[in-house]
């Protein structure tokens, strides 16, 4: 699964590459407009993570270029420019998703996973993790064939966890994933605790092993290997 990461900030790029590589993605990087332009026209990528403010040009122009050359890559815009019209223009120009900076790495990973799923598996899309199987388009989950009754939030939480298996997802990342970036954040994480607790209970009641573990109060990790 090959990704192109377009980002001019080296420190940020390093974290993103490092996180996504551990998720078994093949990451190529571009730090300038020209580099990005060259790479995305020469190669085919599963997904392009695109920063809008680049040395040498505007990321939105890269989108136009992609459209012109009918490149079939999925695009996630990551931008510090949170202006509403940027978001709209970006999506109009064929971007699939818009993730404002600063973002959480597990969130980016989940968005990439969702994008890849949408592009590859129309209709049938079964995620398998240990005894857990999740039908994403139908929004159904089951443990060893036994269906789970999950709320919308719990299902979203499960998707985030599955997209970041074996990684620690901080409470803040979960909170933002569940409430969206628009909602005012509480400094407490009561919502996160409650939803994780409910999900864990439902999983164990359905007979699944304890997949979700808390990591020192920082966050949670989903791991089928315990």
Partner 1 sequence: MTRRLNSPILPHQSMKLLARTTVIFLIYASVVAAAGTFVYYNFIRKIYYQYVDRTLSRRKLRVDNDLRLYLHSPADLAFWHRLDHNVEFVPLAAPGPPAAFSVRMMYNKLVNKTVPYRQLAAPVVFQGRPYRLELRTTMLDSQELLARIGQAGALLFGALLVGLLVLQHLLARRLWAPFYKTLGALQRYKLDQPEPVHLAPTRIPEFKELNAALNRLLNRNQRIYRRQREFTENAAHELQTPLAILRTKLDMLVQAPGLTEEQASHIEPLLDVTQRLTHLSRSLLLLAHLDQQLFFPTETVDLAAVIRTQLGQLREQLAGGSLTLATDLVDSLPVAANRSLLDILISNLLSNAIRHNVPGGTVRVTLTPQLLIVENTGRPRALPADQLFVRFRPGPERPPGSVGLGLAIARQICETSGFLLSYHYEEPGRHQMRVRM
Q: Does residue number 200 form part of the binding site for partner 1 (CB under 8 A)? A: no
Q: Does 155 bind partner 1 (CB under 8 A)?
A: no
By CB under 8 A, name the one of 38, 44, 181, 205 that touches partner 1.
181
**Residue 184 tokens, joined:** 């005012």
DSSP class per residue in 110-155: HHHHHHHHHHH-SS--EEEETTEEEETTTTEEEETTEEE---HHHH
- Residue 218, interface with partner 1 (CB under 8 A)? yes
225 counts as binding partner 1 under rule CB under 8 A: no
Q: How many CB atoms within 10 Å of residue 94?
A: 14
Distance from C-alpha of 192 to C-alpha of 169, rounded to nearest angstrom: 11
User: Does 214 engage in binding with partner 1 (CB under 8 A)?
Assistant: no
Shortest distance (Å) from residue 144 CB to partner 1: 29
| Interacting residue with partner 1 among 24, 68, 84, 124 (CB under 8 A) | 84
Residue from 50, 141, 171, 177 in contact with partner 1 (CB under 8 A): 171
**Of residues 158, 121, 111, 120, the one with CA closest to residue 139:** 158
Are 154 and 202 a contacting pair, CB within 8 Å? yes
Residues that bind partner 1 (rule: CB under 8 A) add up to a total of 50
Residues near partner 1, by CB under 8 A: 9, 11-12, 15-16, 18-19, 22, 78, 80-85, 88, 100-106, 153, 167-168, 170-173, 178-188, 190-191, 193-194, 215-219
């Amino acid at each position: 699964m090959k990704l192109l990461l377009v980002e001019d900030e080296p420190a940020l790029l390093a974290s993103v590459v490092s996180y996504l590589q551990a998720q078994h993605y093949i990451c190529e990087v571009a730090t300038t407009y020209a580099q990005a332009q060259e790479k995305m026209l020469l190669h085919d990528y599963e997904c392009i993570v695109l920063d809008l403010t680049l040395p040498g040009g505007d990321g939105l122009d890269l989108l136009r270029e992609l459209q012109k050359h009918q490149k079939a890559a999925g695009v996630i815009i990551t931008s510090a420019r949170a202006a509403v019209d940027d978001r709209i223009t970006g999506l109009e120009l064929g971007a699939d998703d818009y993730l404002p900076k600063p973002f959480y790495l597990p969130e980016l990973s989940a968005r990439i996973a969702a994008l890849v799923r949408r592009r590859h598996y129309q209709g049938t899309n079964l995620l398998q993790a240990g005894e857990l199987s999740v039908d994403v388009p139908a929004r159904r989950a089951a443990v060893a064939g036994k269906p789970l009754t999950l709320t919308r939030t719990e299902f979203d939480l499960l998707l985030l966890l599955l997209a970041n298996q074996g990684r620690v997802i901080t409470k803040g990342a979960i909170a933002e994933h569940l409430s969206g970036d628009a909602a005012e954040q509480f400094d407490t994480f009561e919502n996160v605790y409650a939803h994780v607790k409910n999900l864990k209970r439902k999983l164990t009641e359905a007979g699944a092993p304890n997949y979700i573990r808390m990591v020192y109060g920082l966050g949670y990790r989903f791991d089928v290997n315990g």
